[in-house]
């Protein structure tokens, strides 16, 4: 062999190795940059979600210091009546994540304020339609198996909580409006400040002054309205870099397309939000249900706190995907999905390990009953798997919202949750006698199937095509008003 050729070959191989190393370093750097962008959105969103979730949880805690009936009244109203309204309002408001996110990415800032006002019109109308749920909550609760005493107390408390319903209607569009622009820190500071005040005034009114449920309702309503007013004042004062240009009659135009997207979003998220609530209701139908219901309630409490983490990633990925698709950056949208999925699953694995490692100990913080603690420890295995599944599933739902796939995911949820998961849980729990383990296990199967399908849909997505269709979606759902800007 020619000596000159023998010298060239190692140089070529060396150059190839350097190229691979350079590409690997570039990928790691890009992953780090995208991870930083996601955490800048996700961390404040997680903290905001925890603060707002804590408002109701703290009210329950203080009510429990008053008496058992007061605790039951607040718990039932908070989890069933307000929980139902919360799911609907959050879902209806999530239409804004698609429209505001893609409009912001496309540089069409002025439409964000119009979209927010349009969402207010739709959600305030929805709130009016939900008022009968609050007014007639006692017979509805009794229909679901609650005692007359608890139903009456919870129904009375529900009437006092009607202002919170209308705060939901204004709050969620405001939050989606701010999230689309990446202005999440202001929501965090306002929610944190309100939580501190809420804690003090709950103690003062409920315990110190002895106002009981009246003080609980007053404090909770004022706290939610303080959040709404604080966020709106920020928008008006700063004008959000031109995204807010005042009230407009365009909010009342082209509502049909917006309503369709809002309903699709509501159905998609409500089917997910209510799925685990159904678990507690079905558990109440088991023979001698007291112990399993208490145990499952403890597990759902822990699952609720843990859910705030993927909920933050849900908001972050929805913003990233909608912004990048609106700007026509298909590759950036796809890469963001990969980064957030890997991050959230890694956190989910850690949380699952913590749950499984502490399953012998954490029940004692929630109950003094040995039987309930033992049952909770047994169920903690399923709780661990639920925590892991919930680390990815909300993220994929966030991708769906950012891309505008709400209708598709709604159909997937119906089939996976209520055609497969729920019947499987009932079959395993009652027919085959596995009790609460069977019910929960079957429902985890539904969640697993839904997650697998969403992974396949996401992997097979043509992101270039999605970016091309983003402008068409804004025209379809946003209406002709977008052309005026």
Question: For the chain (length 485 residues), average pLDDT per consecutive 10?
Answer: 52 52 71 86 87 86 79 78 83 77 79 88 93 92 77 91 95 90 90 96 92 93 97 88 81 76 74 72 73 77 81 82 81 87 91 93 78 88 90 81 76 88 91 88 90 88 78 59 52
Task: Quote the pLDDT of residue 162.
Answer: 95
Q: In the chain, where are the structural domains located? A: 36-252, 265-485
Task: Quote the pLDDT of residue 286.
Answer: 76
What tokens appear for 415 in the block?
Answer: 């089939």
What tokens appear for 275 in the block?
Answer: 């799925």
Task: Quote the pLDDT of residue 31.
Answer: 85
User: In this structure, what is the dihedral angle of CA atoms 289, 305, 315, 273, given to the nearest 10 degrees?
Assistant: 10
14: three-class secondary structure by DSSP? helix
CA distance 231 to 212: 29
Q: Running DSSP on this structure, what letter comes out for residue 248?
A: -
Task: Quote the pLDDT of residue 471.
Answer: 63
CA distance 402 to 396: 10
387: three-class secondary structure by DSSP? helix
CA distance 38 to 56: 28
Entry field: residues in the chain: 485
Which H helix or E strand runs over 484? Answer: none
What is the 3 state secondary structure string of 333-349?
HHHHHHHHHHHHHHHHH
**254 closest CA partner among 118, 129, 406:** 118
Task: Quote the pLDDT of residue 5.
Answer: 53
Q: Contact at 8 Å (CB) between 277 and 75?
A: no
The reported pTM is 0.77
**396 closest CA partner among 384, 387, 405:** 405
């Amino acid at each position: 062999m020619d000596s000159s050729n023998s010298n060239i070959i190692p140089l070529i191989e060396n150059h190839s190795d350097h190229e691979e190393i350079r590409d690997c370093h570039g990928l790691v750097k890009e992953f780090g940059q995208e991870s930083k962008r996601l955490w800048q959105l996700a961390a404040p969103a997680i903290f905001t979600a925890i603060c707002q979730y804590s408002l109701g949880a703290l009210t329950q805690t203080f009510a429990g210091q008053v008496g058992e009936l007061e605790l039951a009244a607040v718990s039932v109203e908070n989890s069933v009546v307000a929980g139902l309204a919360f799911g609907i309002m959050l879902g209806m408001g999530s239409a804004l994540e698609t429209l505001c996110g893609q409009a912001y990415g496309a540089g069409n800032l002025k439409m964000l304020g119009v979209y927010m006002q349009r969402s207010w019109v739709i959600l305030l109308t929805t709130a009016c339609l939900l008022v009968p749920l609050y007014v007639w909550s006692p017979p509805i609760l009794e229909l679901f198996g609650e005692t007359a005493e608890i139903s009456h107390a919870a129904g009375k408390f529900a009437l006092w909580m009607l202002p919170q319903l209308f705060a939901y209607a204004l709050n969620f569009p405001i939050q989606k409006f701010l999230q689309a622009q990446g202005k999440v820190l202001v929501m965090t500071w306002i929610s944190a400040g309100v939580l501190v005040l809420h804690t003090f005034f709950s103690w003062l009114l409920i315990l110190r002054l002895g106002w009981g449920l009246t003080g609980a309702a007053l404090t909770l309503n004022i706290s939610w309205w303080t959040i709404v007013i604080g966020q709106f004042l920020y928008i008006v004062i700063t004008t959000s870099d031109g995204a807010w240009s005042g009230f407009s009659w365009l909010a009342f135009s082209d509502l049909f397309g917006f309503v369709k997207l809002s309903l699709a979003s509501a159905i998609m998220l409500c089917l997910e939000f209510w799925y685990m609530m159904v678990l507690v209701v079905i558990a109440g139908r088991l023979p001698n249900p007291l112990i399993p219901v208490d145990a499952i309630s403890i597990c759902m409490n822990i699952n609720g706190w843990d859910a705030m983490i993927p909920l933050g990633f849900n908001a972050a990925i929805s913003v990233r995907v909608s912004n990048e698709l609106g700007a026509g950056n298909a590759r950036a949208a796809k890469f963001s999905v990969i980064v957030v999925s890997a991050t959230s699953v890694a956190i989910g694995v850690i949380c699952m390990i913590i749950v499984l490692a502490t399953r012998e100990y954490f029940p004692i913080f929630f109950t003094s009953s040995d039987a309930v603690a033992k049952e909770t420890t047994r169920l903690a295995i399923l709780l661990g798997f639920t925590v892991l599944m919930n680390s990815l599933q909300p993220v994929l739902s966030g991708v769906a919202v950012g891309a505008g796939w709400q209708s598709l995911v709604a159909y997937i949820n119906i089939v996976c949750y209520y055609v497969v998961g729920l019947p499987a849980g009932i079959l395993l729990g009652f027919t085959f006698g596995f009790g609460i383990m069977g019910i929960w296990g079957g429902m985890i199967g539904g969640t697993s199937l839904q997650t697998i399908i969403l992974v396949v849909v996401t992997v097979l997505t043509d992101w270039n095509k999605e970016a091309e269709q983003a402008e068409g979606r804004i025209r379809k759902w946003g209406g002709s008003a977008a052309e005026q800007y």
